[in-house]
Structure 1
Amino acid sequence: MRAPSPLLTYSEPAYGVTEVNFFLDKAKELATAEGLPQLALYLATSPLLRAIITVPAYGVQDNVIYDYVKSDVDAYLAKLRTCVHQYLRDCTDDQTPTQISGGAVPRTSPAAGRRE
């Protein structure tokens, strides 16, 4: 996300800082090898997208951000979703079928089964 700028005064839909921090904490909690499938589901169903408020962009009070611009959070969320889904696809694609014991692959000879 962009660094906060107290000079910006335009209004844009925003997410409350409490909702964003809760979302980030939950994503961090699930960001383990075992938790990635649950993280993908959480990203797809997060209630964050329903927690939009309208405030001046980058509301700053006592050097603390109290709300996040919607477009910044949405871009971050989209990138996070893409990364998690790509990683899960890569993990699935790297799995190979189990080979026959010893790694040998049976071959069929054209002469097999022929009687001379």
Structure 2
Amino acid sequence: MKADPLVTPDGRYIVVRGRLWRRSDPRLSDARRQELVDRLMDARRAVGQALRCDSENVSDARAQVDAAKTALGERGPVWWSDGAPDLTRRMARNTIYADWYAQSAEQA
């Protein structure tokens, strides 16, 4: 069974293979989040289909993925308001989360 990814103490990121990825906006209702996740999955399937069979629609399908991820808060402007920078794609060990991450890795 696959374990849930680590979540930073402030809830802004998950850690996948040591790298930070922004989580969706917690202010979204469960219904809205599910609607956007469904849209994201449809868009990802459209990308795969376009890559296999319909190369002229790849960019449109990728734009749909981007739109869904932006609506979820995983891309685009950050959803927090304290002025903290977006650390998406950075290695956790090289960020303000380094100590927390080192301790979490020791416990795993």
Q: TM-score range by the shorter chain?
A: 0.3 to 0.5
State the structure with more CA Rg.
Answer: 1
Structure with the largest fraction of strand: 1
TM-score (normalised: structure 2): 0.33
TM-score (norm. length: structure 1):
0.31
